[in-house]
Amino acid sequence: MRKLMVAIYLLLGVVMTGVAFAQSPSQPSAITAIKAGRLIDPETGTVAINQTVLIQGERITAVGSNLAIPAGATVIDLSKLTVLPGLVDAHTHMALTYKEQPENNYYYLTVVMDSTALRAIQAASNGIQLLNSGFTVIRDVGNNGLYADTALRQAIEQGWLPGPTVIPSGIIIGGTGGQLWPTPEMYKRHNIVYPEYLDANTPDEIIRAVRENMLFGARTIKLCIDCKPWGYSVDDIKLAIGEAAKGGCKVEGHVQTPEGAQRAIDAGIYIIGHGNALTPEHHRQMAEKGIFLAGTDTPFTKYRGSEQAFRQTVAKLRDAWEKKVPLTFSTDFDYWNDRMKDDKTGEWLSRGDLTIAFIETWKAANIPPADILRAMTINGYRAADIIKERGPIKTGMFADMIAVTGDPLTDIDALRNVQFVMKNGMVFKKDGLMTPEKFFHPGPVRMPSGRWTR
């Protein structure tokens, strides 16, 4: 027996070492030069004219107006376009699509009827559609079955398929029952609505739940602050924040009551998800503490929402902007119905079209385009906690960028017409058409390096 254990340990050691040391194969060091007619810095809301961006492999190596283009470089002429960082949806759900048919928009039934494997494939398709609309980063915060979200992140990072950079939360952590109200049968047999929520009622359970998610590849942690009357206390939330920090993760709180919002703010949470329950006083405190808001500000459309709910959403978003809360662009997208078609053409709207449509709420709140753009880029990169390596079009950063006709600093609707998308230095879309073939490989071309092996 002891010999067997030793053999297993040795084998594990070999496997783990193999994973930890597997570095990315040397990236092609081909140089690309992008000629940008206009280059936006969303941080300052300014534009530079006739800029060149040099890219080697996956990263930006130089940006400027009089750069010499190295011999042999591939030149991409975007001189008639406006180039800017890729967009961020700071709160979405890639592997959940609840429907009017067959489940009557009843999320419990979606969980029963759609397997994690099917949902992971939905997520892969959603990722491609979002990238096509210029979203190069998403925070995917739960309701993804048994870790379809972390699998999506891994698949995109390893180079199996194109998609945004995914910051997944793993399974949402909540007091018993999570966000659902399971029957005793569902709860005690623990095999129907689970694994959508991780029950964590005590300090030990909270620590365990945070660790489990990080072990399985989460890059952020999502807590149900007040999904049940028992909810989480300030101390519970602080405990989760401290444990998550050990794995390099920030915490988002799902908030649906004013009391829950106050507890999340008092605990010093990083992001509050959903703006409905927030008061002007909460906004004031969030601005003071620098707490991000992922308001999930749904527009009123023929396929979603009501006029009354929209009016309230707009008023809350406007107040948060006036109080200078760090705002992110966020959608909470996780549904589908057969009214999601273009009025003029009758064609299906893509997941990207449906996501960018959320700018309607921001326009209705009279938020200036430069501030909307900052929410959709810089604040999103900060909320995703990746701004040190992705976002700003600056030397040393990953080469993620998009280009549009028109000027989003004066007309935010220009973002609806993305002509060009680059991710990790590779061209995904050009002249308005997807050209993703270089993203597809018969095997993983990038393996994890650094402290994370998963």
Helix boundaries (H) for 114-233:
116-132, 148-158, 184-189, 203-215
Identify which of residues 142 and 217 has a Cβ nearer to Zn ion in the complex: 142
**Looking at beta carbons only, is 297 or 332 nearer to Zn ion?**
332
Q: How far is CA 387 from CA 35, 325, 445, in A?
A: 24, 18, 24
If the CB atoms of residues 332 and 400 are measured against Zn ion, the closer one turns out to be 332
Integer Cα distance of 130 and 95 in angstroms: 13
Min CB(93)–Zn ion separation in Å: 6
Cβ-based nearer residue to Zn ion, 140 or 400: 140
CB of 354 to Zn ion, least distance (A): 15
As a whole number of Å, the end-to-end CA separation of the chain is 30
Q: Locate 136 and state its tokens.
A: 């190069």
Nearer to Zn ion, 157 or 332 (CB): 332
| Bridge partners of residue 271, in order along the sequence | 252, 292
Contacts of 420 (CB under 8 A, 6+ apart): 76, 78, 81, 83, 401, 402, 403, 427, 429, 430, 431
- HEC string of 35-93 equals EEEEEEECCCCEEEEEEEEEEECCEEEEEECCCCCCCCCEEEEEEEEEEECCEEEEEEC
Closer CB to Zn ion, 149 or 332, in the complex: 332
Structure tokens at 401: 């960028």
Nearer to Zn ion, 129 or 143 (CB): 143
Going by their DSSP bridges, the two strands 46-56 and 59-64 should be labelled as antiparallel
Residue closest to Zn ion, measured at CB: 332
The region, left, alpha or beta by phi > 0 then psi within -120 to 50, assigned to residue 190 is left
Shortest distance (Å) from residue 330 CB to Zn ion: 8
- Closer by beta carbon to Zn ion, 139 or else 390: 139
Minimum distance from CB of 88 to Zn ion (Å)? 15
Q: How far is the CB of 226 from Zn ion (least distance, A)?
A: 14
Which of 210, 287, 296 lies closest to 251 in space, CA to CA?
A: 210
Q: State the Cα–Cα distance between residues 327 and 275, nearest whole angstrom.
A: 10
Kindly compute the dihedral angle of the four CA atoms of residues 188, 184, 140, 159, in this order, to the nearest 10 degrees. Answer: 40
Kindly list the residues in this chain that would bind Zn ion in the complex (CB under 5 A): 332
Give the Cα separation of 50 and 406 in Å (integer).
Answer: 15
Nearer Cβ to Zn ion (76/209): 209
Distance from C-alpha of 230 to C-alpha of 268, rounded to nearest angstrom: 20
* Euclidean distance between CA atoms 306 and 235, whole angstroms: 37
